[in-house]
């Protein structure tokens, strides 16, 4: 199999997908580099799931192309063996045990069961003896965990996760977040679609924002949050800090707030503000954006929700 | 491909439904055998004579499979074969499992072929199971004797029998084997249509209903003789063409035509299933 190590793990170029007159994805382009944890964000109907389905070869693009590891993706493409995916909810053959489901899924393309990372996958699933029970007796949370076990069987280089925490309780959501973190430490690339913006903020390094099937924004999480331009700072001398900050180009206003200051800035990074304060001999206790990803996300959607935008896209 | 066939077979064979089908396929021949036995008793006392294979079956256990097949091939086996074929792909889609099968590097053509092969095997296995159950029960009840078949065309209204012909035990066994293969192959059109319908929908019951529905409509239209030669193209028209092997001592030419008709349906609907499924967006 040819593979360029320099090629993005995921490359979506001018992707469009129509269902009759309904435009689900419209000229979407983005890339995910090796090792990135990329969040795919958008409201319901933004085209996230459709994009991921095309990426996995489940749907055919109307226009444009999708590449995995530098190679075009089609149904049954060999590079799919390097991907672990959970598209919407995990689903299994209900009358078979969890373990037999994993085995049959793994062996479907002729892979030898002995080569699957069963121990690692079962450790993640944490289902214990329940893995020998038929899946129809599982709760949704158990199915999701078995789904994670399934996608990890092949030690995938790319994880494609579509709303992976749906149906999980808060403890399980936290486990999933930690799991994704562990996987990325081992070099896996992750493309994660989620409605939980706090989850994306805590898990992802990069974000692709979609609305009405189109790309709205792409960048690192800090860039997206930072673009809102509001920063909260705690220092040992607030008045002197105010003077220092007001002298920086691009800083529009500085307000005292609680134990610190809120800075409204049009340019520059938080590290620049921090450097200026330190140079002035101030001790910086806290410096963080006042907005969370959720605020930035909603601001982006508000800014792009122009009248006449196409309505009716499906996810 | 072998791995795919094996996994699909395990999925199909381990269903509770499969056990129910096996129980039906053994239980119903036993019931029919019991009915033949009772009818034979009444005939001996000068009562109900019945007609055709059902009446003759008590002469030899080797004829019981043919009698059972004549009863079961027109409906119950159709329902079972339609269920197996219609469920083949739509069943996975209904569970939401189809997308996970297809995010493996698995060719869609191979998947349809594997599912079709497994469905075909199960349909053949169902037909063979009926025949084996009937044969074993028949031989146990009535022995494995040759059969003297009267000239059944002379039944008419008079009830008078003229001498027909005798089928030896070996001839009966051979014809039972041929009839089994013919009837099993006679569901090829149903298999192909069921698989095709199964690619069209994500609802297994819809695909099963459509498959069986086409057969029921075919049977209804086939009974309208005014339709003339059009009926020859119906998938059910030649389904009973094997019966004259037992009642007329001939290997009917219609059986060859029946095989050709089934082959045409198999190729046309099989190809349609492959083409459609290759292009289909998997949304389940």
Residue recorded with tokens 């497994």: B118
Residue recorded with tokens 């935008």: A309
ipTM: 0.80
Domain span at B35 = 2-279
Residue B284 domain-assigned (yes or no): no
What is the number of structural domains in chain A?
Answer: 2
Domain span at A275 = 229-290
Residue of A53, A94, A108 with shortest CB distance to B104: A108
CA–CA distance, B91 with B205 (Å, rounded to integer): 8
User: A171 and A255 share a domain?
Assistant: no
Interface with A, mutate which of B98, B100, B115 (most A CBs under 10 A) = B100
CA distance, residue A143 to nearest chain B CA (Å): 12
> B35: how many CB neighbours lie within 10 A of its CB?
15
User: A202 and A81 share a domain?
Assistant: yes
State the DSSP code for A34: T
CA distance, residue A193 to nearest chain B CA (Å): 17
Give the residue with greater pLDDT, B276 vs A163.
B276
Residues B110, B114, B119, B122, Cα dihedral to 10°: 160
CATH number of the domain within which A241 lies: 3.30.70.100
CA–CA distance, A217 with A30 (Å, rounded to integer): 10
Phi-psi region of A69 (alpha: psi -120 to 50; beta: other; left: phi over 0): left
User: A205 and A234 share a domain?
Assistant: no
User: A188 and A44 share a domain?
Assistant: yes
Please state the rounded mean pLDDT for residues B176-184: 95
With CB atoms and an 8 Å threshold, state whether A91 touches B7.
no
With CB atoms and an 8 Å threshold, state whether A80 touches B92.
no
Q: By percentage, how much of chain B surpasses pLDDT 70?
A: 91
Confidence check: pLDDT of B48 > 80: no
CA distance, residue A220 to nearest chain B CA (Å): 28
Residue of B2, B4, B108 with shortest CB distance to A75: B108
> B37: how many CB neighbours lie within 10 A of its CB?
16
Query: Residues B273, B195: contact at Cβ < 8 Å?
Result: yes
pLDDT band, residue B43 (cuts 50/70/90): low
Chain B from 45 to 84: CB within 8 A of any A CB: none
Q: For the whole model, what pTM was predicted? A: 0.80
Residue of B97, B99, B279 with shortest CB distance to A93: B97
What is the number of structural domains in chain B?
Answer: 1
pLDDT (tens digit, 9 = 90+) per residue, A61-111?
Answer: 999 999 999 999 988 889 998 999 888 888 899 999 999 999 999 998 888
Confidence check: pLDDT of A312 > 60: no
């Amino acid at each position: 199999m040819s593979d360029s190590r320099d090629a993005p793990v995921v490359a979506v170029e001018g992707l469009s997908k129509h269902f009759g007159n309904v435009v689900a994805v419209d000229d979407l382009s983005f890339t995910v580099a090796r090792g990135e944890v990329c969040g795919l964000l958008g409201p319901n109907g933004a085209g996230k799931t459709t994009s991921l389905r095309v990426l996995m070869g489940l749907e055919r693009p109307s226009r444009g192309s999708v590449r995995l590891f530098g190679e075009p993706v089609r149904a049954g493409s060999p590079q799919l063996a390097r991907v672990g995916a959970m598209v919407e909810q995990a689903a299994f053959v209900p009358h078979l045990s969890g373990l037999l489901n994993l085995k049959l899924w793994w062996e479907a393309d002729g892979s030898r069961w002995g080569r699957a990372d069963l121990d690692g996958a079962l450790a993640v699933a944490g289902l214990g003896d329940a893995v020998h029970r038929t899946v129809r007796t599982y709760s949704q949370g158990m199915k999701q965990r078995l789904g994670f076990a399934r996608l990890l069987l092949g030690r995938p280089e790319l994880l494609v996760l579509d709303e992976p925490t749906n149906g999980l309780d808060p403890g399980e959501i936290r486990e999933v977040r930690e799991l994704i973190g562990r996987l990325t430490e081992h070099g896996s690339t992750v493309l994660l679609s989620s409605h939980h913006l706090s989850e994306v903020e805590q898990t992802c390094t990069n974000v692709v924002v979609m609305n009405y099937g189109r790309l709205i924004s792409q960048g690192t999480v800090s860039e997206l949050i930072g673009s809102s331009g509001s920063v909260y700072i705690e220092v040992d001398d607030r008045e002197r800090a105010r003077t220092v900050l007001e002298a920086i180009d691009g800083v529009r206003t500085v307000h005292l707030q609680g134990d610190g200051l809120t800075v409204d800035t049009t340019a520059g990074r938080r590290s620049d503000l921090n450097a200026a304060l330190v140079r002035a001999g101030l001790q910086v206790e806290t410096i963080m954006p006042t907005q969370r990803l959720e605020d930035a996300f909603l601001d982006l959607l508000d800014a792009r929700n122009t009248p006449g935008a196409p309505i009716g896209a499906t996810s | 491909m072998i791995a795919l066939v094996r996994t699909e077979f395990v999925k199909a064979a381990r269903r509770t439904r499969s056990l129910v089908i096996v129980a039906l396929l053994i239980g119903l021949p036993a019931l029919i055998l019991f009915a033949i036995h009772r009818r034979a008793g009444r005939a001996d006392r000068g009562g109900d004579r019945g007609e055709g294979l059902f009446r003759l079956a008590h002469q030899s256990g080797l004829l019981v499979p043919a009698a059972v097949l004549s009863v079961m091939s027109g409906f119950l086996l159709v329902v079972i074969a339609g269920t197996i074929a219609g469920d083949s792909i739509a069943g996975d889609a209904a569970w939401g499992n189809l997308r996970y099968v297809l995010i493996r590097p698995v060719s869609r053509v191979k998947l349809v072929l594997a599912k079709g092969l497994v469905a075909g095997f199960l349909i053949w296995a169902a037909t063979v199971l009926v025949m084996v159950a009937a044969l074993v029960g028949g031989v146990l009840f009535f022995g494995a004797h040759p059969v003297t078949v009267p000239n059944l065309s002379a039944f008419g209204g008079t009830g008078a029998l003229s001498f027909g012909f005798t089928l030896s035990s070996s001839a009966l066994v051979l014809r039972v084997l041929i009839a089994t293969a013919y009837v099993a192959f006679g569901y090829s059109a149903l298999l192909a249509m069921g698989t095709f319908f199964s690619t069209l929908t994500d609802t297994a019951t819809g695909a099963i209903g459509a498959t069986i529905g086409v057969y029921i409509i075919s049977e209804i239209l086939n009974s309208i003789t005014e339709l003339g030669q059009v009926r020859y193209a119906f998938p059910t028209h030649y389904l009973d063409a094997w019966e004259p092997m037992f009642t007329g001592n001939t290997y009917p030419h219609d059986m060859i035509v029946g095989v050709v008709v089934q082959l045409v349906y198999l190729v046309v609907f099989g190809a349609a299933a492959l083409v459609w499924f290759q292009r289909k967006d998997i949304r389940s």
